[in-house]
Amino acid sequence: MRFANSQSLFRRAAAVIPGGIYGHTTPAATIPGSVPYFAASGSGCRYTDVDGNTFIDFMGGYGPMILGYHHPEVEAAATAARQLGAAFNHPTSLLVELAEKLTQRIDFADWSVFAKNGADLTNWSLMVAREVTQRPKILKIRGAYHGTAAWCTPGHGGLIPSDRADILEFPFNDIPALEALFNFHRNQVAGLILTPFHHPAFADSVLPTPEFVAACNRLCRDHGALQILDDVRCGFRLSADGSHSVFGYTPDLAVYCKALANGHPLSACVGRTPHKAAASRVFLTGSYWGDPAPMAAALATLDIIARDNIPARLTALGERFVTGFLALGEKHHTPLVASGPPAMPYVRVADDPSFLRTQALCAAAIAQGVFLHPHHNWFISAAMTEADIADALARLDRALASLRP
Amino acid sequence: MRFANSQSLFRRAAAVIPGGIYGHTTPAATIPGSVPYFAASGSGCRYTDVDGNTFIDFMGGYGPMILGYHHPEVEAAATAARQLGAAFNHPTSLLVELAEKLTQRIDFADWSVFAKNGADLTNWSLMVAREVTQRPKILKIRGAYHGTAAWCTPGHGGLIPSDRADILEFPFNDIPALEALFNFHRNQVAGLILTPFHHPAFADSVLPTPEFVAACNRLCRDHGALQILDDVRCGFRLSADGSHSVFGYTPDLAVYCKALANGHPLSACVGRTPHKAAASRVFLTGSYWGDPAPMAAALATLDIIARDNIPARLTALGERFVTGFLALGEKHHTPLVASGPPAMPYVRVADDPSFLRTQALCAAAIAQGVFLHPHHNWFISAAMTEADIADALARLDRALASLRP
């Protein structure tokens, strides 16, 4: 498999873009030299890079493509809305329909707002929690990703001390640490923000213990702090009505994004009636946020997710994939470790603290036409069939064989 | 002119959205009861609301629709790119082409990055300035709009003291105030952020004095601070190569957004080679930022803006419109005051500190099918013809007549 065009384009990119490719799609975060750097087109659960290599895609654009590239119903809805126009002086009726849809779908949701990035609304949710409580401090999980704003970016550049003066971190699933923070900062905590399960980069995924979920619910309630569920990555993949229902969280605010509109740029934050007036006092806007096409895509995507029970489908496909992958690891004497829910699995080589063997495995998978990320959870696509999973496993069998000394 | 469907939809919206409609398109910011609340479709320089009323549009979605709704070349380019796919695991070659285009087009630009919202990159530009200088403080114009992040939002809800601990404000065009801030906070100022001209809401627009521009250039250079031009609203409307060239600014970073892709969600920040390494250290990413369709739209839009000399066209149309409007004010004994460049004019009733007479004028204009905003600068559309301007002026003649006691 050759990546000559990717590498040539990257040299052009490096001349006119800091780092060549920035953010989560930078080759530096994957396996430079062994991965494509630029995509050309996608269809269903496969995409083709600029060298003509085609991959069975287990990343789906890092989450958005839950139904696969070019889902005909979603694209038809988005295209019809695009015919109406783009940025107007007013929203369209799709804003109302989508807010109604989310409040009907999500049990605790009484209202909704929409933006483009997940981070637009994780940032806003902190301000809403502060406006509701008139308190400054936010509790957050160490290593959790909520965007690239200064209060939460995983990067190190450009930060100043005041950025995180009121952000307090603790480890996922650590009830005593959470309890200690609430007690030490009594009447100062505006909110707790967390993802439904912990899916850090460069580490295994961790599901919440039932005791941790109960503690989050109890402590937020007892201390009068808002529970903010960052469901950007998981939302509508684990359950058609939001991931809180899977684990038993009782959020006050929840943010959705990636799977919401099958690749069209849209995010949503939902909340409860007691916080609606405060939410209306936290100014929120963007030039393109009324754009009807992504809202039409979201209405179609949400309907399909419920109609076709997509979360169950993703789970079944993911279980088949992970089980098969682990069995192949045993066959080839390369012990593998799986973590995360089957719909969003992560598999790495055991006893691999440097990730070098996991990188080699993913590079071999990519060489066989299966796109896997060595340091980030994966995403099963509803466009996959059992035959696609079997195809992927057959390729991974060859990939594992190629790794033998 | 009836707004029954708008008002009915707004009642539904208010049930499921804080404030009903939030942000810059909220009716509360215009003239509740006298304006449409929801758009249905647009074409060229006109749009139709959900009651079937059609308007000659002097807002263009608050800026994005520089070439008008459904510009055929832009939409053809975006649609072709959309066929390739949306959110991929990698950018497409359009990222490189667009970065090359901007660095060729904008004289001081050596590199570029892209996001969705203008605010994604005004926020990031502050972090880049801090990373370059290893200093915390940012100078900003009082009343300037740079987004809804806590450091700059015009809203009042959800703020805590640490949000603006390192933000220092001064009045536009006030050289002594700017000089005093630089001197008082010597070796502490990372950057100065400002818009090319001052276009606050609820006030006249103010062009920079040549002395103020020279002082911004000199003081940033002498104090080793970055000059950040927020060209989100003006960029590519006043000049095809960025608004700094119109006024003589020498920015280190400039942010573009609204007119960049004729309504498709995209923003850009450009900068200089000495800051490129620092920029690469400030993490920046979003789920949809590699989406090829808006980049294809931007390439087409930028080509058309240069090919058809759109800024000159907007200026000529705007001059014709403003001159005609002022003459109508004289004719009807309603003295009007115009401010801002002709391509982005703002006209209000003279001696109207409460804006009540200006609101009445805009309501009358809307009743005659001309959409004007009473408290925000307007945007001339390149889709307008001289006949459209004449049509708008004929309607404004009737609007002014209807205002007579």
Alpha-carbon dihedral of residues B41, B45, B49, B54, nearest 10 degrees? -120
CB contact under 8 A, B40 and A280: no
- Residue B404 predicted with pLDDT over 90: no
B284-307 mean pLDDT: 97
Residues B197 and B175: their CA atoms lie apart, in Å, by 15
Domain A4-69+309-402 and domain A72-307, same fold? Reply is no
Residue of A nearest to B6 (CA): A93
Which tokens in the block code for residue A31?
């396996």
CA-nearest residue to A130 within chain B is B158
CB contact under 8 A, A85 and B23: no
- Residue pointed to by tokens 């609204």: B258
d(CA B178, CA B360): 38
Contact A136 B13 (CB under 8 A): no
What is the C-alpha separation between A299 and A124, in angstroms, rounded? 23
Give me the CATH topology for the region A4-69+309-402. Answer: Aspartate Aminotransferase, domain 1 (3.90.1150)
Q: Which of B42, B85, B166 sits opposite A42 (nearest CB)?
A: B85
**Average confidence (pLDDT) over B343-356:** 97
From first CA to last CA, the distance across chain B in angstroms is: 20
Note down pLDDT in tens along chain A; length 405 residues: 899 999 999 999 999 999 999 999 998 888 888 999 999 999 999 999 999 999 999 999 999 999 999 999 999 999 999 999 889 999 999 999 999 999 999 999 999 999 999 999 999 999 999 999 999 999 999 999 999 999 999 999 999 999 999 999 999 999 999 999 999 999 999 999 999 999 999 999 999 999 999 999 999 999 999 999 999 999 999 999 999 999 999 999 999 999 999 999 999 999 999 999 999 999 999 999 999 999 999 999 999 999 999 999 999 999 999 999 999 999 999 999 999 999 999 999 999 999 999 999 999 999 999 999 999 999 999 999 999 999 999 999 999 999 976
Domain residue limits, chain A? 4-69+309-402, 72-307
Show the DSSP H helices in A145-288 as ranges.
Answer: 175-184, 210-223, 244-247, 276-280
CATH number of A72-307: 3.40.640.10
Confidence (pLDDT) at B365 = 98
Query: Which residues on adjacent β-strands are paired with residue B26?
Result: none
- The residues near A337 (Cβ < 8 Å, ≥ 6 apart) are A204, A347, A348, A349, A350
CB contacts, 8 Å: B371 with chain A: 89
- Summarised one tens digit per residue, pLDDT across range B117-150 is 999 999 999 999 999 999 999 999 999 999 999 9
> In chain B, what percentage of residues exceed pLDDT 90?
97
- Return the HEC string of B133-189: HCCCEEEEECCCCCCCCCCCCCCCCCCCHHHHCCEEEECCCCHHHHHHHHHHCCCCE
What residue type is A56 in one-letter code?
A: I
pLDDT of residue B1: 83
Pull the structure tokens for residue A318.
């993911």
From chain A, the residues in CB contact with B232 under 8 A are: 287
Cβ pairs bridging A and B (under 8 Å): 356
Q: For B209-253, how does the pLDDT look when each residue is reduced to its tens digit (9 = 90+)?
A: 999 999 999 999 999 999 999 999 999 999 999 999 999 999 999
Q: Residue B116: which pLDDT band, with cuts at 50, 70 and 90? A: very high
Q: Are A284 and A113 in contact (CB under 8 A)?
A: yes
pTM exceeds cut of 0.90: yes
Q: What is the pLDDT of residue A32?
A: 87
Partner-chain residue, chosen from A263, A281, A291, that has the shortest CB–CB distance to B87:
A263
Whether residue B287 and residue A62 make contact (CB cut-off 8 A), yes or no, is yes
Q: State the CATH class of domain B4-69+309-403.
A: alpha beta
| Residue among A18, A38, A60 whose CB faces B113 most closely | A18
Which residues on B lie below 8 Å from A154 (Cβ)? 283
Q: pLDDT tens for residues B180-221?
A: 999 999 999 999 999 999 999 999 999 999 999 999 999 999
pLDDT tens, residue by residue, A193-237: 999 999 999 999 999 999 999 999 999 999 999 999 999 999 999
Q: Contact at 8 Å (CB) between B65 and B42?
A: yes
Q: How confident is the model at residue B405 (pLDDT cuts 50, 70, 90)?
A: low
Do B123 and B268 form a contact (C-beta atoms < 8 A)? Answer: no
Q: What's the ipTM?
A: 0.97
Contacts of A113 in chain B (CB under 8 A): 17-18, 22
Residues A207 and A341 sit within 8 Å (Cβ to Cβ): yes
In degrees, to the nearest 5, what angle opens at C-alpha B320 toward C-alphas B314 and B322? 95
Q: Each residue of B22-64: pLDDT tens digit?
A: 999 998 888 888 999 999 999 999 999 999 999 999 999 999 9
- Which residues in chain A have their CB less than 8 angstroms from residue B128's CB? 157-158
Q: Is B263's CB within 8 Å of A165's CB?
A: no
